């Protein structure tokens, strides 16, 4: 399959990249690893007139421990680098676990953190060739007016399917953006928009430059559980990140649980607050799991069935909580 025509710009600095984006306006799109964008362009899901290649922005490729104990990670950090980073392994294990499940080793060598965070939402009726989509009459998310997942609705349910976002959401990370009007920071909860078309609260011309994980999240126990049919390459059909800070006797001081693959945005499970101040309690873990399936709303956007993905979400949330509660540091 061919790629559409475009002009390729290869800026060497953030400043240059932002200027290019501003100059080209909505016709421009950025490319880093290309693992999401290139297949989508082959399918004509995107046909930008200009592609701004961020590969030479070496300044955005870093994993940097900050003085206060927090961690900064540049948007152009390869997922493989993230997965292998000793500081991530040691102090933010949930991010390590999530990063090492992203796609496959080959794709992790190309894919970047920024790309994984900005991953387009996915749907079986959307991630298809131009021919396929045309034969169906297109869909709400792209070129059409009907949603085939929830017919009659005017809302796009395409699912956010990144693995690192739920981990970072659970770690209370903030995303750093740079744009024509300067730099700003958003919490990940603010960054993601639960709408398959809108996806992220990124202004025109803005770029994700990195994320910052606060010192307060360092050293928490964490696990990431991913449901997929093939144990490599696949996107999550449902994913759960759970983190917990505990006292030495195992009392939960604080816990967060986040979901992916089941909504247009990665989501925190509010019920995780129930765990605070409690010692290990299997029924409580089950209770949070039960609440989690009110947050996670899988639909027919991917393989497997919504019913099963809801089931596995509940099992995975419970298991993840049990694991962080009973094991680890």
Partner 1 sequence: MSATSPIGARVPMIDSVDKVTGRGKYTDDLTLPGTLVGKILHSPHAHARILSIDTTAAERLPGVKAVATGKDTPVKYGILPIGHDETIFAVDKVRYIGDNVAAVAADTAEIAEGALGLIKVDYEVLPAHLDPERSMQAESDFIHEDKPHNIEKEYHHHFGDVEVGFAKADYVRDDRFDCAEVTHAALEPHSTLANFDPDGSLTVWSSTQVPYYLMKTLAATLEMPEEKVRVIKPLIGGGFGGKSEVIPLELAAAVLARRAGAPVKITYSREEVAYAHRGRPRTIVELKTGVKRDGRLTAVEARIIQDGGAYCSYGVVTILYSGQLLNAMYDIPNVMFDGYRVLTNKPACGAMRGHGTVNARFAFETQLDMIAAVLGIDPAEIRRRNLLKAPCRTINGLRVLSYGYPECLERVIERSEWRAKRRKLPFGKGIGMAGSHYVSGAANPIIRSLMPHTTVELTLGRDGAVTLYTGAAEIGQGSDTVQVQIAAAELGVDWKQVKLVAADTARTPIDLGSYSSRVTFMAGNATLDAARQARERLLAAAGLALGAESENLVWKDGVFARRNNPRPSIPFAEACRLACGAEESLKFAGTYSPPPEAQGGKYRGAGVGPSPAYSYSAQVAEVTVDVETGQVTVERIIAAHDCGKAINPLTVEGQVEGSVWMGLGQAVQEEMVWEKGRLMNPGLLEYRTASTLESPPIEPILVESNDPEGPFGAKEAGEGSLAATLPAVVNAIYDAVGVWITSLPVTPEKVLRALEEEKRRTSL
Partner 2 sequence: MNKEPIRLRVNGRVHELSVPPNKLLLEVLRDDLGLTGTKCGCDDSSCGACTVLVNGEPQMSCLMLAASYQDEEITTIEGLAKNGELDPLQTGFCEEGGAQCGFCTPGMILTCKSYLEKNPDPTEQELREALSGNLCRCTGYTQILASIRRAIELAREGRKVEVSKL
- Kindly tell me which residue out of 132, 279, 282, 294 binds partner 1, with binding defined by CB under 8 A: 132
Q: Does 234 bind partner 1 (CB under 8 A)?
A: yes
Q: Does 58 bind partner 2 (CB under 8 A)?
A: no
Q: Which sign does the torsion angle of CA 218, 223, 227, 232 carry?
A: positive
Strands 63-65 and 174-179: what pairing? unpaired
Min. distance of Cβ 305 from partner 1 in angstroms? 6
List the beta bridge partners of residue 210: 74, 176
- Kindly tell me which residue out of 26, 105, 204, 250 binds partner 2, with binding defined by CB under 8 A: 105
109 binds, among partner 1, partner 2, none (CB under 5 to 8 A by kind): partner 2
Q: Does 253 bind partner 2 (CB under 8 A)?
A: no
Q: Does 13 bind partner 2 (CB under 8 A)?
A: no
- Kindly tell me which residue out of 29, 104, 194, 323 binds partner 1, with binding defined by CB under 8 A: 104
Q: Does 153 bind partner 2 (CB under 8 A)?
A: no
Nearest-CA neighbor of 176 among 214, 211, 215? Answer: 211
Q: Does 303 bind partner 2 (CB under 8 A)?
A: no
The number of residues that bind partner 2 (CB under 8 A) is 31
Name the one range near partner 2 by CB under 8 A: 47-55, 148-156, 242-250, 312-320: 47-55
Q: Does 311 bind partner 1 (CB under 8 A)?
A: yes
Min. distance of Cβ 313 from partner 2 in angstroms? 24
305 binds, among partner 1, partner 2, none (CB under 5 to 8 A by kind): partner 1
Q: How far apart are CA 211 and CA 74, in angstroms?
A: 7
Name the one range near partner 2 by CB under 8 A: 49-57, 156-164, 281-289, 297-305: 49-57
Q: How far apart are CA 203 and CA 181, in angstroms?
A: 10
Cα radius of gyration (the chain)? 20
Site for partner 1 in 274-303 (CB under 8 A): 303
Contacts of the segment 16-19: beta carbons below 8 A, 24+ positions apart: 17/52, 17/54, 17/57, 17/207, 18/178, 18/179, 18/180, 18/205, 18/207
Site residues (vs partner 2, CB under 8 A): 1-8, 10, 31, 33-35, 38-39, 42, 51, 53, 55, 80, 103-107, 109-110, 129, 231-233
Site residues (vs partner 1, CB under 8 A): 1-2, 5, 104, 124, 128-129, 131-132, 134-136, 229-234, 303-305, 307-308, 311-312, 315
């Amino acid at each position: 399959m061919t790629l559409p025509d475009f002009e390729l710009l290869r800026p060497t600095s953030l400043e240059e990249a932002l200027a290019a984006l501003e100059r080209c306006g909505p016709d421009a799109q950025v490319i880093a690893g290309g693992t999401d964008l290139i297949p989508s362009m082959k399918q004509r899901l995107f046909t930008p007139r200009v592609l701004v290649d961020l590969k030479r922005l070496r300044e955005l490729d870093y994993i940097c421990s900050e003085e206060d104990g927090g961690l900064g990670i540049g948007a152009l950090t390869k997922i493989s680098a993230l997965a292998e980073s000793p500081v991530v392994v040691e102090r933010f294990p949930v991010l390590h676990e999530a990063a090492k499940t992203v796609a496959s080793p080959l794709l992790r060598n190309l894919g970047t953190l920024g790309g994984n965070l900005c991953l387009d939402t996915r749907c079986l009726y959307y991630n298809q060739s131009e021919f396929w989509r045309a034969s169906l009459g297109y869909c709400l998310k792209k070129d059409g007016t009907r949603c085939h997942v929830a017919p009659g609705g005017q809302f796009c349910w395409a699912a956010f399917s990144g693995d690192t976002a739920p981990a970072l959401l659970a770690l209370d990370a903030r995303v750093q953006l740079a744009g024509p009007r300067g730099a700003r920071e958003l919490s990940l909860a603010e960054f993601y928009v639960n709408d398959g078309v809108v996806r992220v609260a990124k202004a025109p011309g803005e770029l994700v430059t990195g994320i910052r994980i606060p010192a307060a999240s360092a050293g928490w126990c964490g696990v990431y559980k991913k449901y997929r049919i093939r144990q490599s390459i696949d996107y999550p059909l449902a994913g759960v990140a759970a983190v917990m800070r505990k006292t030495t006797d195992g009392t939960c001081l604080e816990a967060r649980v986040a979901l992916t693959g089941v909504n247009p945005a990665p989501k925190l499970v509010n019920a995780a607050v129930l765990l605070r101040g409690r010692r290990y309690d299997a029924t409580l873990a089950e209770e949070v799991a039960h609440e989690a399936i009110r947050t996670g709303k899988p639909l027919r956007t991917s393989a497997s069935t919504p019913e099963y993905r809801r089931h596995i979400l509940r099992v995975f949330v419970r298991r993840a909580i049990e694991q962080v509660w009973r094991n680890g540091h």
